[in-house]
A and B are shown apart, each in its own frame.
Chain A
Amino acid sequence: MSETAREHPAVQKASSGNPRSIMYREALREALLEEMRRDASVFLLGEGIARRGGSYKVTEGLLNEFGPKRVIDTPLAEATFTGAGVGAALTGMRPVVEILFIDFSMLILDQIANQAAKLQFMTNKQCSVPMVLRTQGGAGNGLAAQHSQSLEAIFYHIPGLHLAMPATPYDAKGLMKSAIRSDFPVVFIEHKLLYMTEGEVPEEEYLIPFGEASIKRPGNDLTLVAWSNMLPRSLKAAESLAEEGIDIEVVDPRTLVPLDKKTIVDSVRKTQHLVIVQEAVRRGGVASDIASYVHEEAFDYLDAPIEIVAGLNTPIPYNLSLEKACIPQEVDIIEAVRRALARTV
């Protein structure tokens, strides 16, 4: 996947001097490793993350280097160990709590929504919760309704939380390192289909600030906003459409909170057309919220109604064909682009 001029300068340095391609899960592991080496207050909590090395091998080998006091296997008790993480963060530690599937995060909503998100506001910053909640979501491989959801909108809705959803190894590493150093509680949502994807990541240290979108593909005819696993799908759609001379700009917000509205609005002002792609169900989704911001700030620049391509308003079926039908595919994105650019002649 080609990075663009708007990318972090480090990537150009790296790709010119020291090109290296690694997987998304390896990039995340590097981020955890580097931050744990740099800061002794960083520790990991989660199910199967220590001896097993994590279901997606993100924490592989970390137990050996940092020992069982900093890489802690927990029982299947999400509310308890997340609460422990919040408590540790209040004492000045920087815990990285892993919830194996975002679906299970429904068990920890009080700890996150009522405690972690609120405390720095309710204490006038006398305390803060510098915790990272690592989790992964999205559909793929027929894991059915309780292991396939995209629940970012729930965390997006709650003030006091930051929310990252990286789509590339480069973004995953840079954002994870920033998340660990942030004094805000950060919900960090990975995607199960992205762990094995590869991309260039420099060996030198770099950070990606929250609230800075990335233009993954520059273009002039239409803006496609997509995050997480919808980004590679959108880039593919953009490439198919480029063969017909349709020049699409693909913008990845990378963090949904804070949201880089300016980059999106500037892009729409340039292209006059907007398609937003989200894997989550349409109803009450982040895409609708982004659309409302664009209406507010770029109404006079829109040449067509904003199109939202989103998951169907239904629990994800187990059957693979039905699962596919519920989640936006490349062809759905292409169709939405055609609608937005349609002329009757």
Chain B
Amino acid sequence: MIEVIVPQVGQDISTAVILEWKKKQGEEVAKGEVIAEVESDKAAFEVEAEADGVLAEILHGEGEEVEVFRPIAYIRLAGESDQTPRQAAAEAAPAASRRAPLDRGTAPIREEHRILASPAARRLAHKQDIDLTNIRGTGPGGRIILADIEEAIAACKAADTASTASDQDTLVPFTRMRQWIADRLTSSNLTIPHFHLTLDVDMTEVMAWRNTVRRRGETITVNDIIVKATAMALAAFPQMNAHVKEDKIILKKHVHLGVVTSVEDGLMVPVIPDADKKGLKTISAITRQNTEAARHGQMNLDYPGTFTVSSLGMFGIRQFTPIINLPQCAILAVGTVEKRVVPFKTEISVRDMMTLTLASDHRAVDGVVASQFLNKIKSDLENLNALISTWIQENPTTETEGVGRNARSDL
């Protein structure tokens, strides 16, 4: 029995997400044959079988994040027993120890995340409030040593003096996050044939309803409502809820909606899992938690996003053209809600208007489907019936039901 290991591609890579299993459990594999496709921060790559045999056990499913150098499956060589090492170990271990809260088996995984730094380096970094994650270690085995911290301090000081000296340019080296953003977006912009569709949405009803709900003490934001409407549209248009590979489209079963969240010197895209099945209140709560966690540098990586919503409305931006978040096939840019003079019925009227821009990957999606998708969002926002009915499901009391009715009568 041999292990199938996730290779490390690129220096800083510690984990990768399994995108797809090319072989099923029990299927025969040949040496050199691609058996899985995985994706790290930086790139997608293929995992090949190291020997001829049978794919005896798959340890991690698609979408799961795994440590590099760790086994994700076992290949049984000809003449070997059916039992994989993991199964054998599970049988051998008494049930109690398997349930022990401090499972020794998980300890080394945490260990691999450790930043290697000498005590002296840690001490100085702590004193100077320097984040070790931004320092490249030059000691043995990549250990961060004192000189690395001293050089970082010197570089900071040099940057400081450079910025105070009026005719000096300031050099800001990429942080790890900046590098990640740079690599991902460059790759997306270079490889994906983007096309953009723009549509205005009348938000007057949404704003009125939101205000009524707010008066009831609920903290639903316009963004939460847009996220919910988008999730509903994604459920109706599975072509838009997909990952795109070189020669194939993977229609994702779940709607894991990513919301771009700005953090210090960068951005993260925390995910609302199964957003189409969640009510507005839940979406709102998860979004708040996600934002808070992201600002502390934390992100739940259990659910790889299937679609992304990006909003610059709070900065008064009317419209912008976003770059698709690989390997997804589309991204929605949300502009500000503003009063505009527009034709309304047969009148000239002042309405709350918002402009949505959808960027799509033309390899996977064509203009018609993208237009239908965008119009579905528009109609759900302009005609609140569907949204309100999810709200009622989530708040099944007459009083909250009344909120919806009142809102409509307010119009």
Q: Which residues of A contact B (CB under 8 A)?
A: 272, 299-304, 339, 342-345
A contacts with B: majority SS:
loop
Top 5 A-B residue pairs of the complex, sorted by shortest distance between their CB atoms: A303-B120, A303-B146, A300-B123, A303-B118, A343-B138
B32 in contact (CB, < 8 A): no
B59 in contact (CB, < 8 A): no
Are A304 and B138 in touch, CB under 8 angstroms?
no
Annotate B49-88 by CB proximity to A: 1 below 8 A, 0 otherwise: 0000000000000000000000000000000000000000
Q: If the complex has contacts A343-B145, A343-B147, are A301 and B138 also in contact, measured as CB distance less than 8 A?
A: no
Contact of A300 among B120, B138, B139, B142 (CB under 8 A): B120
Are A301 and B123 in touch, CB under 8 angstroms?
yes
In the complex, the chain B residue whose C-beta lies closest to that of A342 is B140
Cβ distance B152 to chain A, nearest Cβ, rounded Å: 14
**Chain B residues, CB < 8 A from A344:** 138-140, 142
How far, in angstroms, from A301 to B142 measured CA to CA in the complex? 19
**Chain A residues, CB < 8 A from B119:** 299-303
B121 in contact (CB, < 8 A): yes
Annotate B116-133 by CB proximity to A: 1 below 8 A, 0 otherwise: 001111110000000000
**Chain B residues, CB < 8 A from A302:** 118-120
**Chain A residues, CB < 8 A from B142:** 344
How far, in angstroms, from A345 to B144 measured CA to CA in the complex? 12
How far, in angstroms, from A303 to B121 measured CA to CA in the complex? 6
Known: A300-B119, A303-B146, A344-B142. 17 other contacts (CB 8 A): A299-B119, A300-B120, A301-B119, A303-B118, A303-B119, A303-B120, A303-B145, A304-B118, A304-B139, A304-B140, A304-B145, A339-B140, A343-B138, A343-B139, A343-B147, A344-B140, A345-B138
**Chain A residues, CB < 8 A from B123:** 300-301
**Chain B residues, CB < 8 A from A301:** 119-120, 123
Q: Taking each of B120, B138, B146, B147, which has the highest tally of chain A beta carbons within 10 Å of its own beta carbon?
A: B120
How far, in angstroms, from A339 to B140 measured CA to CA in the complex? 8
In the complex, the chain A residue whose C-beta lies closest to that of B123 is A300
In the complex, the chain B residue whose C-beta lies closest to that of A268 is B120
9 contacts between A and B (CB under 8 A): A301-B120, A301-B123, A303-B119, A303-B145, A304-B139, A343-B138, A344-B138, A344-B139, A344-B142
**Chain B residues, CB < 8 A from A342:** 139-140
How far, in angstroms, from A300 to B127 measured CA to CA in the complex? 12
